Structure 1
Amino acid sequence: MTEGAGGAGITTGALARRLGVSPTTVRSWDRRYGIGPAVRADGRHRRWAPRDVAVLEEMCRLTAAGVPPAEAARTALGAPPEPTAPPEPPEPVRAPPPTGEVRAGHRGLARAAVRLDGPALEALLSEAVAEHGPVTAWEELMMPALHAVGRTWESSGDRYVEVEHLLSWHVSTALRRAAVTGRVRHPGAGPVLLACAPAEQHTLPLEALAAGLAERGLPVRMFGAAVPAEALDAAVRRTGPAAVALWAQARSTADHALARHVASTGFGLRGARTAPLVLLAGPGWAGRTPAPGTVRPTGLREALDLLSRRYGDEDGATARAGA
């Protein structure tokens, strides 16, 4: 832990971001249980020294494991861990070690989810999207936290379902907010249609794609989960899209016949009819050679680059819309 000038420690906001709690929660614990800094700069402003941080880390670990806050506070104050000890991820979430600049914060996101701390989730996700963009935030923060929580749920006999639901809702909210902001740079062009296969319910990866398209200024229409084949066909004919991204999480939901049908659907003036490029998005499409008119990107960034080139953005890496 790096202290501030003159050994004054770190601020409450910086500490809250590290631990995955809201600053309001930190102040509340200080007021109710005495879990606060030993020294306050100028007599008013909180500055957290290493020993103070160690006490609060123990408080977070205990509350995340289900210990009532009052009891956790007594334990943390009575037997704090060594200040030099590395921070532990809260039980029951066991997240993989961080590997990227933003991913280093996914443990804090998982901690906030375990505590069902909605305000902290909102603050952490909003800050990550604003600072790094939705694509990097999805790859290095949101997905690792979702995977960690999902593994915990699968290994705990259906416990902590509420944690996964809360985290998913806040991730979806952050991605949808990013998808409807910014300036569309190709207002007259056909949009990219995003839809889940008729039997597919997983939408978060498509929401990340929608946010990434919006970041690049590309027009998008999101139809969400389990889109019936007839409805997708009607949407294609009515909008004349440049491309259609069809998501399938599992092989059982990948509808190859529907993908071929969409790829062969022509529209436009007689003599100049065209058809959309179909992106087979998601792991469910693996194992077969893509049919004519379809492509299978290996990940989010490759999908974004393919779609950018569809609109003539050859570099595939336009600046953020509205920047």
Structure 2
Amino acid sequence: MNDTAHGITTGAVARRLGVSPTTVRSWDRRYGIGPAARADGRHRRWSPEDVAMLEEMCRLTSSGVPPAEAARAARQVRPPAVRDRGGETAGGPPAAALAEPAGSATTTPATETARRTTDGSGLPLGDVRHECRGLARAAVRLDGPVMEALLRAALAEHGLVAAWEEIMAPTLHAVGRKWESSGDRYVEVEHLLSWHISTALRRAAVTGPEAVSAASPVVLACVPSEQHTLPLEALAAGLAERGLPTRMFGAAVPAEALDAAVRRSGPAAVVLWSQARSTANHALARHVAGTAFGVRGARTAPLVLLAGPGWLGRTPAPGMVRPTGLREALGIVSRLYGGTGEDEARVGGTGR
């Protein structure tokens, strides 16, 4: 007889869902998301109805719903005869024990902290929006379609600034910290998450008003040896939302190429991104700030924005500013084009 007649194993259902077997077993123990029957009374065997319940659990947690709440909703997928058998889910704890409140007698502070910090994704998230947790879970599962949907929703609901500062960036930082602490693991998670965030930011950039072609552009570039471009992509999207012209040169721009780009484009501002002090090139920044262009008698030089944590530790030289984040950078550049810098609320959405 085919084994599927009695349900599939935990390992098989985990592969189908793209989660680890440990996660499936944990959901069973902690939230009662278990199979309706067990082989020999011990080994979990998952029926099609059980798998449908787990798929709903994955969908809800990926959208940011807390696991206990998602479990309560997911259990409704199974037929009532199975769901309400004696007020207990087969293979799981009584329904009254499925959602333990914080600080209950069976929940220690250490356990509650661990749940709040990782929340099922395995990433050190800390105190963040629930959308951030959903994005993290989808990233760990390498669930591209869910990541795309969550990013679209975040940008639509919260606006670019809040979506970047409170959802995208915290998730990226958590993946980076996990990668650094676990050897070569999670590299694929960071790459896929970065690609989807980049795609979402570029999509947001093209929906803005058409930039004035005759206006001096904003040059965006990473300093030589710097590969992190996503913060610049977020800024480019924000500038596009305001109809301001940009020239994005991307990662690790050689000094000679940056000099040529500045002289040829005559920018109003140059944003130099440095992620770490090891890549911050202060001599290059001074050179760019001192580059004058235009007709004789009306020559001008660009304002240089030292963006990123790599520039911390020194006072900006004349002709330079160091914005503390995306919102401030947008305000600074906007004022160069005659804006007041007070319309961040429109770009930033509701905030938190």
- Bin of the TM-score, shorter chain as denominator length: 0.7 to 0.9
Provide the secondary structure at the position in 1 that maps to 2:278. Answer: helix
1:293-312 residue CA offsets vs partner (Å, 9 max, x unmatched) = 11111211111111011101
Aligned residues: 261
* Aligned counterparts of 2:52 and 2:208: Cα–Cα separation in 1: 45
Q: How does 1:121-200 map to 2 (within 5 A)?
A: 121-184=147-210, 186-200=212-226
Task: Tell me what 2:99 maps to.
Answer: 84
Tell me if structure 2 keeps the 8 A contact 1:308–1:316: no
The amino acid of 1:53's aligned partner reads A
Greater radius of gyration (CA): 2
Tell me if structure 2 keeps the 8 A contact 1:37–1:52: no
The amino acid of 1:132's aligned partner reads H
* Aligned counterparts of 1:217 and 1:55: Cα–Cα separation in 2: 46
* Aligned counterparts of 1:144 and 1:104: Cα–Cα separation in 2: 12
Tell me if structure 1 keeps the 8 A contact 2:219–2:249: yes
Task: Tell me what 2:28 maps to.
Answer: none
Q: Does 1:53 align with 2:53?
A: no
Instruction: Return the offset for 1:56.
Output: 7.1
Provide the secondary structure at the position in 2 that maps to 1:252. Answer: coil
Cα pair distance change 1:91/1:78, threshold 3 Å:
farther
Instruction: Return the offset for 1:219.
Output: 1.0
Task: Tell me what 2:126 maps to.
Answer: 96
- Unmatched 5+ stretches in structure 2: 1-46, 57-66, 76-88, 102-111, 348-352
110-119 or 139-148: bigger deviation: 139-148
The amino acid of 1:113's aligned partner reads A
Tell me if structure 2 keeps the 8 A contact 1:35–1:56: no
Provide the secondary structure at the position in 1 that maps to 2:270. Answer: strand
The amino acid of 2:99's aligned partner reads T
Q: Does 1:305 align with 2:331?
A: yes
Q: Does 1:282 align with 2:308?
A: yes
Tell me if structure 2 keeps the 8 A contact 1:229–1:258: yes
Task: Tell me what 2:350 maps to.
Answer: none
* Aligned counterparts of 1:51 and 1:146: Cα–Cα separation in 2: 25
Cα pair distance change 1:258/1:313, threshold 3 Å:
same
Identity of aligned residues (%): 68
* Aligned counterparts of 1:111 and 1:131: Cα–Cα separation in 2: 20
Instruction: Return the offset for 1:55.
Output: 6.0
Provide the secondary structure at the position in 2 that maps to 1:230. Answer: helix
* Aligned counterparts of 1:203 and 1:96: Cα–Cα separation in 2: 24
Match of 1:33 among 51, 54, 64: 51
Provide the secondary structure at the position in 2 that maps to 1:137. Answer: helix
Tell me if structure 2 keeps the 8 A contact 1:216–1:317: no
The TM-score with structure 1 as length reference comes to 0.73
Task: Tell me what 1:294 maps to.
Answer: 320
- Unmatched 5+ stretches in structure 1: 1-28, 39-49, 59-75
Tell me if structure 1 keeps the 8 A contact 2:212–2:243: yes
Instruction: Return the offset for 1:156.
Output: 2.1
The amino acid of 1:54's aligned partner reads A
* Aligned counterparts of 1:192 and 1:209: Cα–Cα separation in 2: 10
Tell me if structure 1 keeps the 8 A contact 2:205–2:236: yes
Cα pair distance change 1:312/1:37, threshold 3 Å:
closer
1:249-303 residue CA offsets vs partner (Å, 9 max, x unmatched) = 1111111111111111111112111111010111111112212211111211111
The amino acid of 2:92's aligned partner reads A
The TM-score with structure 2 as length reference comes to 0.67
Tell me if structure 1 keeps the 8 A contact 2:211–2:240: no
Task: Tell me what 2:263 maps to.
Answer: 237
Tell me if structure 2 keeps the 8 A contact 1:277–1:293: yes
Cα pair distance change 1:149/1:57, threshold 3 Å:
farther
Q: Does 1:247 align with 2:266?
A: no
